[in-house]
Amino acid sequence: MTEYRVEAEGIEKAFGENKVLRGVSFKVATGTATAIIGPSGSGKTTLLRTLNALDRADAGVIRVDDVQIDFATPTPKAEVRRFQSRSGFVFQGHNLFPHKTVLENITEGPVMVQKRPKEQAVAEAVELLERVGLADKRDQYPYQLSGGQQQRVGIARALALKPKVVLFDEPTSALDPELVGEVLSVIKDLAVEGWTLVIVTHEIQFARQVSSQVLFTDRGIILERGTPDEVIGNPKQDRTRQFLDRILNPL
């Protein structure tokens, strides 16, 4: 029987008159990677942000691990914090604290939010920096790093919180092309290690390689879902084929 780490049912979200999500439902099996692809403005990032309540959905139910929120009803702040603690978020633009060192950026959450001993947090941060290939950068500041290095620090910071699922919002879109590979390599390693991942990405070949499930979103709905071979290799919907052709075969 499949165990699901994330379950979303009937997610609705609007910004003013703009309905961004229209009754979205999907599941993410434990230990798998799900890639969300689709055109700009299709609701990908908003959907991802609802999984961490960075954007609060207007309606629908989301369960992440053992915490569930029904967004149609008021939710106590303590329960929202419990919900948010189940996932780590890797932002498109790094979002590192500029005045803190690499090590301080990674230990901030475990020490200040989770109240874990500083010595333990530092030891685990050093291990994470080794994992992402940045052990020699621990005392540097974000401005001293390349974009790819900053994003790898962002991944280490998310992992430091020991989340049940890691959410990636287009983690390579702000990078120079030659830096993309180093970030994707770290994410591939996490997938191989059995982390549960949800990745909004425009890197179609990467999505095909790393994910167990691909969701194609368009105009606020999931238009097509399935394995990478099904959705990317042999899409059923004309809209999916049109999108992939433009991405994979640019003029």
CA-CA-CA-CA dihedral for 224, 226, 228, 234, to nearest 10? -60
Residue 25 has a pLDDT of: 97
Distance CA 34, CA 36 (A): 7
In CATH, what is the architecture of 4-86+163-248? 3-Layer(aba) Sandwich (3.40)
Residue 53 has a pLDDT of: 95
Residue 61 has a pLDDT of: 98
Distance CA 239, CA 150 (A): 35
**Spans of the chain below 70 pLDDT:** 251
Model confidence, pTM: 0.95
Q: Per the structure block, which two tokens stand in for 59? A: 């309606």
3-state secondary structure of 204: helix
Residue 190 has a pLDDT of: 94
Find all residues with CB under 8 Å of 14, minimum gap 6, and list them. Answer: 20, 21, 58
Residue 174 has a pLDDT of: 82
Residue 248 has a pLDDT of: 86
Residue 18 has a pLDDT of: 93
Domain-by-domain residue ranges, the chain?
4-86+163-248, 97-162
pLDDT one-digit tens code per residue, 52-98: 999 999 999 999 999 999 999 999 999 999 999 999 999 988 789 99
CA nearest 51: which of 38, 64, 37?
64
Distance CA 171, CA 184 (A): 8
Distance CA 201, CA 163 (A): 20
pLDDT one-digit tens code per residue, 23-46: 999 999 999 999 999 999 899 999
CA nearest 197: which of 171, 173, 217?
171
